Structure 1
Amino acid sequence: MDQWMKLANKVLDGESIINDEALSILECPDEDILLLMHASFQIRKRYYGKKVKLNMIMNAKSGLCPENCGYCSQSSISSAPIDTYKMVDKETLLKGAKRANDLNIGTYCIVASGRGPSNKEIDHIVNAVKEIKATYGMKICACLGLLKPEQALQLKEAGVDRYNHNINTSEKNHSNITTSHTYDDRVNTVEMAKHFGMSPCSGVIVGMKESKQDVVDMANSLKSLDADSIPVNFLHAIDGTPLEGVNELNPMYCLKVLALFRFVNPTKEIRISGGREVNLRSLQPFGLYAANSIFVGDYLTTSGQEDTEDHKMLLDLGFEVERVEELKANTAGGK
């Protein structure tokens, strides 16, 4: 039995891997990558079988953000030529939900730029969410920035199932990425979502000049936060942002990162998110031996691949899309 299967069996027996073991995953020799992904799949298979959860983003408000996040084309310090617009109307949100439903997307993610939503924006989102839930019944994830308690309660009561607020990087590296809010601001937002009964979704962006230890720390922080869903983004450096030209990733390393997050968070939804097409490239399919979830369609200000290509990839792998009906049943069962 190779070292990766031994480590997988340790996880399957209910033990946590230690720091040196986590680092060893990121330092796995490239020639052993298939062994590592096979071991990751044994963990993934225990909890998710060959099912894949599909998610779709609606960029409900773009640009105009006062924050100074170094990776983001929508930030106040970005000169990237992106579309900027205020909150879209309800019809646009409903149209996006219909498209998601037509593609059998399990979770529709409503994302808005900015430090946090105004009360007027919350009312607008709440109104749309109620109609989407009544019409389609799909899961709704909201990603609107820092929340006030009363806003979190409104979202929950409207039917928002999940709230996303990424930690993005390690606590140690946070001030290198942004200074307009703290790491604790992000953690507290995730905790607030949990407090009001929304499923906590929080993830990372890998490739922002962090160390391997930082990546391990991110995985462990999300374990401590008990995030149900963990989107793993890989930096797609955008011209006009402070991280313009940064290109530290390669497909093999991205696979090791996904494996790490599965080993550290064995029971959680691990989602291959932004940057998968440009960083994993032809090795995208292998990522699903560790992850069990992907975004379909475009991201916030960058393009994804065609949804037909994603479905073709899943078919070629012999994986199955988790149907909306199954997600409803799981939600009813408290999963």
Structure 2
Amino acid sequence: MKITNIRVLTDNILAGLRLQRGDDFSLFLTAPLPELQEGAARLQRHFCGNHIDFCTIINGRSGRCGENCRYCAQASCHHTGIDEYDFLPKEEIIRNARANQEAGANRFAIVTSGRALAGKDFEQALEAYKEMRDTLSIDLCASHGLLTREQFKRLRSAGVTSYHHNIETSRRFFPQICTSHTYDDRIRTIRIAQEEGFCVCSGGIIGMGETWEDRIDMAVSLHELGIESIPVNALMPIPGTGLQNRPQLSGDEILRTIAIFRFINPTANIRLAAGRKLLPENGATALKAGASASITGNMLTTSGTTIKEDMEMLKKLGLTNAEEGCTAGMNTCGSR
């Protein structure tokens, strides 16, 4: 299909059309940004209402990762000077989760470095999730790498409902950013998580040297996978990593990417992640033009925004983080 008019395309998507691999997406790159944003905003209002889903994360284990992802500050092959520590005490994790819940976050995730969480550290994570499930109401997410089916079963039993595992970029460009595991390793992990009943949160990073075609390919791949939550990270080049000299993206380029992702994944939560500081008004513009979710609070290796600041921003924008959500799979993403 050839896309010739953004307004007509928006109407057709609202009526049930879904874009597919092989469609002509060139208009997304030439249409005036305000026109593209207007269409993305209409789609967002229709499928997500006024709801903005806020998730928070804690870096549960840091550094000493044996993978060679070129963007990552935690890879042992890079020399970034980040803090390195083993799995955090359960008490510290639960204290953070409770504070985030009280501040209004919808979801809390433990994120750990390394190819996969295993052994004693995985058992500690399970204990933390079980106690949070029993004592808190916040929804639980995990991000522990390339897990086995049995591990996913145990996570689900412990109360985790969402699993985060980015595909990072297009299949074509993936070998340019990582060779210690494959794109198919990531796809396999996502499919197992879905088969075991998890809502999967999966997106990627833009600004690593990929083309616009790579970004569109990533968006289409996420649509084909049925992903319900899509974090869009803008690379924040970190000294000591393999991408330390990459130029930062402009706010307009990030906004165009977010709008395109909304057109290709109209019912998903498009989630602001790393690089929010590069956006106009710290992401407020994006939250009215395609983005229906955001990571909030202290992020992994880039500065974030406090939950209080984000709640104040929502109020000014006439938005809410009350439990409504996009139409795609919110019972899976937001229920225990």
Pairing 1:249–2:237 present: no
Structure 1: runs of 5+ lacking an equivalent: none
- Report Cα offsets for 1:165-187 as digits up to 9, x if no partner: 10001100011001000000000
Report SS of the residue matched to 2:57: strand
- Report Cα offsets for 1:142-200 as digits up to 9, x if no partner: 00000011111100111100011100011000110010000000001101101111111
Post-superposition offset of 1:21: 4.8
Pairing 1:26–2:56 present: no
Q: C-alpha separation between the residues in 1 aligned to 2:309 and 2:285?
A: 15
**Structure 2 match to 1:80:** 80
Q: C-alpha separation between the residues in 2 aligned to 1:235 and 1:325?
A: 27
Report SS of the residue matched to 1:116: coil
Asked whether the equivalents of residues 236 and 274 of structure 1 are also in contact (C-alpha less than 8 Å), the reply is yes
- Report Cα offsets for 1:64-92 as digits up to 9, x if no partner: 10000000000122111111111001001
**1:249-288 matches, cutoff 5 A:** 249-277=249-277, 279-282=278-281, 284-288=283-287
Report SS of the residue matched to 2:52: strand
**Structure 1 match to 2:234:** 234
**Structure 2 match to 1:15:** 17
Give, as a single letter, the amino acid of the residue that structure 1 aligns with 2:101. N
Identity, % of aligned positions:
36
**Structure 1 match to 2:125:** 125
Pairing 1:102–2:102 present: yes
Structure 2: runs of 5+ lacking an equivalent: none
Report SS of the residue matched to 1:271: strand
Post-superposition offset of 1:126: 1.2
RMSD: 2.2
**Structure 2 match to 1:66:** 66
Asked whether the equivalents of residues 66 and 76 of structure 1 are also in contact (C-alpha less than 8 Å), the reply is yes
Give, as a single letter, the amino acid of the residue that structure 2 aligns with 1:121. D
Report SS of the residue matched to 2:245: coil
Report SS of the residue matched to 2:104: coil
**1:35-184 matches, cutoff 5 A:** 35-184=35-184
Asked whether the equivalents of residues 49 and 325 of structure 2 are also in contact (C-alpha less than 8 Å), the reply is no
Post-superposition offset of 1:306: 3.0
Asked whether the equivalents of residues 23 and 213 of structure 1 are also in contact (C-alpha less than 8 Å), the reply is no
Post-superposition offset of 1:323: 4.4
TM-score normalised over the length of structure 2: 0.92
Report SS of the residue matched to 1:200: strand
Q: C-alpha separation between the residues in 2 aligned to 1:3 and 1:210?
A: 26
Asked whether the equivalents of residues 165 and 202 of structure 2 are also in contact (C-alpha less than 8 Å), the reply is yes
Give, as a single letter, the amino acid of the residue that structure 2 aligns with 1:146. L
Query: How many residues are aligned here?
Result: 328
Q: Which runs of 4+ in 1 moved over 4 A?
A: 18-21, 323-326, 329-335
TM-score normalised over the length of structure 1: 0.92
Pairing 1:317–2:320 present: no
Report SS of the residue matched to 2:185: helix
Q: C-alpha separation between the residues in 1 aligned to 2:28 and 2:284?
A: 19
Post-superposition offset of 1:324: 9.6
Q: C-alpha separation between the residues in 1 aligned to 2:264 and 2:107?
A: 24
Specify whether residues 9 and 49 from structure 1 end up closer, same or farther in structure 2 by C-alpha distance, changes over 3 A only: same
Asked whether the equivalents of residues 149 and 192 of structure 2 are also in contact (C-alpha less than 8 Å), the reply is yes
Specify whether residues 95 and 237 from structure 1 end up closer, same or farther in structure 2 by C-alpha distance, changes over 3 A only: same
Give, as a single letter, the amino acid of the residue that structure 2 aligns with 1:142. A
Q: C-alpha separation between the residues in 2 aligned to 1:201 and 1:75?
A: 22
Q: C-alpha separation between the residues in 1 aligned to 2:303 and 2:190?
A: 27
- Report Cα offsets for 1:87-118 as digits up to 9, x if no partner: 00100110111111111111101100000011
Post-superposition offset of 1:10: 1.6
Higher helix proportion: 1
